A and B are shown apart, each in its own frame.
Chain A
Amino acid sequence: QSALTQEASVSGTVGQKVTLSCTGNSNNIGSYAVAWYQQTSRGAPKTVMFGNSLPSGIPDRFSGSKSGTTASLTISGLQPEDEADYYCSTWDYSLNAWVFGGGTKLTVL
């Protein structure tokens, strides 16, 4: 069972806006910024958001936010290439460990 909770699956059509959520507690998301990782077809994960900042090369249709113990990744103007598994992650000072969410499978219809 993951320390962070994500939706198992989310779907949207091309051009739509979708939001993925990641819920933790005061020991993790409540204390630290969250990063989001994209994994397509079981390849290597790729960072698409850290805090509310975009890594270089990631399109600005991706945005991140956090409120209390819940972080969100929003994709505005969904594209077919956005279909992937998305994982949130942060540090947990109680567990003294990096923690991940169980992942959300994003399907572009």
Chain B
Amino acid sequence: VQLLESGGGLVQPGGSLRLSCAASGFSFSTSAMNWVRQAPGRGLEWVSSLSDDGFTTKYADSVKGRFLISRDSSKNTLYLRLDSLRAEDTAVYYCAKEVEKRGVYFFDHWGQGTLVTVSS
């Protein structure tokens, strides 16, 4: 299993970015996927999730209305569109694969992350 994020960078407040997560080594089209972020020196914060069929999305209150999660199963790629960016969105963004094993739902694989810096 490999998850490779890209698309991070430096953006001004109010700007936009699109993050990508290229997946391989598992059945992407049957896996729910998530984005989790980590601000500098802080802990992990869940951002958004997308069901395997692409129809059910969930967002943390801190990003609702500003971020959009999507997927292209033909390309085995997960996306996160970040709009109206704020300084507090500065973080490493991780792509995480969600799984159910023995009745437990959790993230079994994580990417290496891509850094988003929001600053003027």
Q: Mark A residues whose CB is within 8 Å of B.
A: 2, 32-33, 35, 37, 39, 43-47, 50-51, 53, 55, 85, 87, 89, 91, 96-103
Contact = CB atoms under 8 A, between A and B. Distances in A.
Contact of B108 (A44, A47, A96, A101): A47
Contacts of B94: 44-45
Given A87-B43, A100-B43, A103-B43, A50 B104 contact: yes
Contact of A50 (B36, B101, B110, B113): B101
B5 to A, nearest CB: 10
Interface of B is mostly: strand
B112 A45 contact: no
B66 to A, nearest CB: 16
B75 interface: no
A8 B44 CA distance: 14
A40 B112 CA distance: 12
Given A50-B101, A51-B103, A44 B110 contact: yes
A97 B44 contact: no
A97 B43 contact: no
